[in-house]
Structure 1
Amino acid sequence: MKGVGGGVGCGHVYGVLKMKQLSLFFIVFVCASILVWNWEKTPHLTTFLPPQEDQPLRLFPDEVKRNDVTQDFEEAEQGEDLIPPSLLTNTASLNTQQDNYPEISQEKYHGIAHMIVVKSFLTCSDNDLKRNTSDGVEKSVSEGKDGLIASVDSQTTESAVKEGINTPITNIEKQACNFGKGKWIPADNRPLYSGFGCKQWLSGMWACRLTQRTDFDYEKLKWQPKECKMDDFTGAEFLKRMQHKTLAFVGDSLGRQQFQSLMCMVTGGNEMADVEDVGEEYGLVKGVGSARPDGWAFRFPSTNTTILYYWSASLCDIEPIDPTSQTTDFAMHLDRPPAFLKNYLHKIHVLVLNTGHHWNRGKLNANRWVMYVGGKPNTNRRIANIGGAKNLTIYSVVSWVNSQLPKHPELKAFLRSISPRHFFNGEWNTGGTCDSTTPGSLEVLQNESSDPIAAGAVKGTNVKLLDVTGLSLVRDEGHISRYSIRAAPGMQDCLHWCLPGVPDTWNELLFAQI
Structure 2
Amino acid sequence: MPLAASSLPRHAFLSSILGTTLFLIIASPLQVSAVLLAGLKNHNSGDLHHRRPSFQSTNSCSIFVGNWVRDDSYPIYESSACPIIDDQFNCQLYGRPDSDYLKYRWRPTNCDLPRFDGVTFLTRMKGKQIMFVGDSLGRDQWESLICMISTAVPATQTQMMRGEPLSTFKFLDYGVTISYYKAPYLVDIDSTSQGKRVLRLGEISVNAKAWHGMDVLCFDTGHWWTHTGSLQGWDYMEWGGQLYEDMDRVVAMEKGMRTWATWVDANLDPSRTRLFFQSISPNHYNPMEWGAATRSCYGETEPMTKMGSSYQNQDQDQTNVVDVVIRDMTNPPYLLDITGLSAMRKDAHPSIYSGDLTPDQRANPDHSSDCSHWCLPGLPDTWNQLFYTALFFH
Instruction: Note whether the superposition's TM-score is higher than 0.5.
Output: yes
Match of 1:417 among 272, 276, 279: 279
Partner of 1:302: 173
Supply the distance in 2 between the matched residues of 1:225 and 1:308 (Cα, whole angstroms): 29
Q: Given the alignment of the two structures, is residue 352 of structure 1 paired with residue 235 of structure 2, yes or no?
A: no
Equivalent position of 2:65 in the other structure: 181
Cα separation, partners in 2 of 1:336 and 1:228, compared to 1, 3 Å: farther
Contact 1:334 1:373 in 2 (8 A): yes
Query: C-alpha displacement at 1:171, in angstroms?
Result: 4.6
User: Is this contact kept in 2: 1:378–1:384, CA < 8 A?
Assistant: no
State the distance in 2 between where 1:405 and 1:225 align.
31
Give the share of equivalent positions with the same residue, in percent. 29
Give distance in 1, aligned partners of 2:89 and 2:96: 12
1:197/1:269 contact within 8 Å kept: no
CA contact (8 A) 2:132 2:180 kept: yes
Cα distance in structure 2, aligned partners of 1:405 and 1:444: 36
Whichever residue aligns with residue 181 of structure 2, its letter is Y
Which residue number in structure 2 is paired with residue 106 of structure 1? none
Q: What aligned pairs does 1:294-333 form with structure 2 within 5 A after superposition?
A: 294-322=165-193, 327-333=194-200
SS at match of 2:335: strand
Does 1:481 pair with 2:351? yes
Name the residue aligned to 1:95: 12
- d(CA) in 2 for partners of 1:365, 1:215: 30
1:258 is matched with 141
Change (3 A) 1:480 1:217: same
| Residue 441, structure 1, aligned to residue 305, structure 2 | yes
Deviations 1:437-483 (CA, angstroms, capped at 9, x unpaired): 121124579xx997333222222532111111000001101111122
Of 76, 99, 102, which aligns to 1:216? 99
Q: For residues 28-77 of structure 1, what are the alpha-carbon distances to aligned partners after superposition, in whole Å with 9 as ceiling and x for unaligned?
A: xxxxxxxxxxxxxxxxxxxxxxxxxxxxxxxxxxxxxxxxxxxxxxxxxx
Letter in 1 for 2:169: F
- Supply the distance in 1 between the matched residues of 2:150 and 2:267 (Cα, whole angstroms): 32
Query: Partners of 2:370 and 2:274 in 1: how far apart?
Result: 32
Cα offset, 1:175, TM superposition: 5.7
Query: Which residue does 1:464 correspond to in 2?
Result: 334
Aligned equivalents of 2:253 and 2:260: distance in 1?
11
Q: Structure 1's 390 and 213: CA in aligned 2 closer, same or farther, altered over 3 A?
A: same
For 1:337, the aligned partner's letter is I
CA contact (8 A) 2:133 2:183 kept: yes
Residue 381 of structure 2 corresponds to residue 504 of structure 1: yes
SS at match of 2:212: helix
1:184–1:443 CA contact under 8 A, matched in 2: no
**Structure having the larger proportion of residues in helix:** 1
TM-score by length of 1: 0.57
1:402–1:463 contact (8 Å) kept in structure 2: no
Q: CA deviation at 1:228?
A: 3.9
SS in 2 for 1:472: helix
Distance 2:348 2:231 in 1: 31
CA distance in 1, matches of 2:231, 2:374: 26
Task: Provide the rounded CA distance (Å) in 2 between the counterparts of 1:465 and 1:388.
Answer: 21
Q: Distance in 1 between matches of 2:107 and 2:262?
A: 31
Structure-2 change in CA distance of 1:300 and 1:174 (3 Å): same
Please give the root-mean-square deviation of Cα atoms over the aligned residues, in Å.
3.3
The DSSP-based 3-state class of the residue aligned with 1:493 is: coil
Change (3 A) 1:398 1:373: same
Q: Is the 8 A contact 1:180 1:467 kept in 2?
A: yes
Selected match of 1:195 from 51, 61, 79: 79
Partners of 2:36 and 2:63 within 8 A in 1: no
Amino acid at match of 1:472: S
The answer to whether the 8 A contact 1:252-1:355 is kept is yes
Unaligned stretches of 5+ residues in structure 1: 1-90, 98-167, 286-292
Amino acid at match of 1:497: W
- 1:267-298 CA-to-partner distances (Å, cap 9, x unmatched) read 01886672124x5xxxx75xxxxxxx223112
AA paired with 2:286?
F
Q: How far does residue 247 in structure 1 lie from its aligned partner after superposition?
A: 0.8
2:201 maps to which of 334, 339, 350? 334
Contact 1:181 1:444 in 2 (8 A): no
- Do the aligned partners of residues 387 and 500 (structure 1) sit closer, same or farther apart at CA in structure 2, a change above 3 Å counting? same
8 Å Cα contact 2:34-2:63 kept in structure 1: no
SS class of match (1:496):
coil
Structure 1 residue 395 and structure 2 residue 258: aligned? Answer: yes
Name the CA distance, whole Å, in 1 between partners of 2:10 and 2:268.
Answer: 32
Cα offset, 1:346, TM superposition: 2.7
Partner of 2:23: none
Q: 1:335 to 1:349 in 2, by over 3 A?
A: same
Report how far residue 390 of structure 1 moved.
1.3
Kindly provide the amino acid, as one letter, of the partner of residue 166 in structure 2. Answer: G
CA contact (8 A) 2:136 2:184 kept: yes
Residue 372 of structure 1 corresponds to which residue in structure 2?
A: 238
| Aligned CA distance change for structure 1 residues 170 and 353 (closer, same or farther; 3 Å) | closer
Deviation, structure 1 residue 216: 1.0
Give the Cα–Cα distance (whole angstroms) in 2 for the partners of residues 411 and 232 of structure 1: 24
Give the secondary-structure state (helix, strand or coil) at the position aligned to 2:387: helix
Residues 318 and 331, structure 1, Cα contact 8 Å, conserved in 2: yes
Q: Contact 2:119 / 2:152 at 8 angstroms: preserved in 1?
A: no
